[in-house]
């Protein structure tokens, strides 16, 4: 769900669906060309990290064409954070944890560098 405020946060729009319920940990980034990028975790198989774009300041999202950045059949992949580099490429960092918790539980951080089509 996403809400919008155009008055410095004094009032907010009604919540709108941005991604499906099994898509969580959304991170928003304003790109140099004005688009808004949302990277998020997929908590349905295959697990992974995906990205969608808005060309109208976040009012609507291109949910029909997600960029699949990471896929996993047995590990949770989550908490993505994306920045845009000087060459306009994108750098997304995310955490990986075991789906079945077994000691010792470990979390690994990985990074993918990519470009929007």
CA 47 from centre of chain: 13
List all residues 6 or more positions away from 12 whose beta carbon is below 8 Å from its beta carbon: 3, 4, 5
pLDDT for 2 equals 72
pLDDT for 27 equals 93
Extract the tokens encoding 44.
Answer: 């349905």
CA-to-CA separations, 25 to 21, 46, 76, in angstroms, rounded: 11, 16, 12
Q: Which residues of 13-27 are buried (b: 16+ CB within 10 A; e: fewer)?
A: eeeeebbeeebebeb
pLDDT for 47 equals 86
pLDDT for 50 equals 94
pLDDT for 59 equals 84
**Peptide bond just before 104 cis, omega within 30 deg:** yes
pLDDT for 70 equals 92
Averaged pLDDT in 10-residue chunks for the chain of 117 residues: 83 76 84 96 87 92 92 84 98 83 75 94
Extract the tokens encoding 17.
Answer: 């669906």
Report the sign of the C-alpha dihedral through residues 14, 17, 22, 25, in that order: negative
């Amino acid at each position: 769900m996403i809400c919008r405020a155009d008055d410095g946060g004094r009032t907010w729009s009604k919540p709108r669906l941005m991604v499906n319920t099994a898509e969580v940990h959304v991170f928003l980034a304003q790109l140099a060309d004005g688009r808004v990028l949302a990277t998020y975790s997929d908590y349905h198989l295959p697990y992974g990290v995906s990205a969608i774009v808005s060309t109208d300041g976040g009012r609507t999202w291109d949910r029909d064409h997600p960029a699949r950045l990471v896929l996993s059949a047995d590990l949770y992949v989550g908490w993505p954070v994306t920045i845009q580099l000087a060459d306009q490429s994108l750098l997304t960092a995310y955490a990986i944890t075991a789906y079945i918790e077994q000691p010792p539980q470990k979390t690994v951080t990985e990074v993918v560098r990519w470009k929007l089509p």
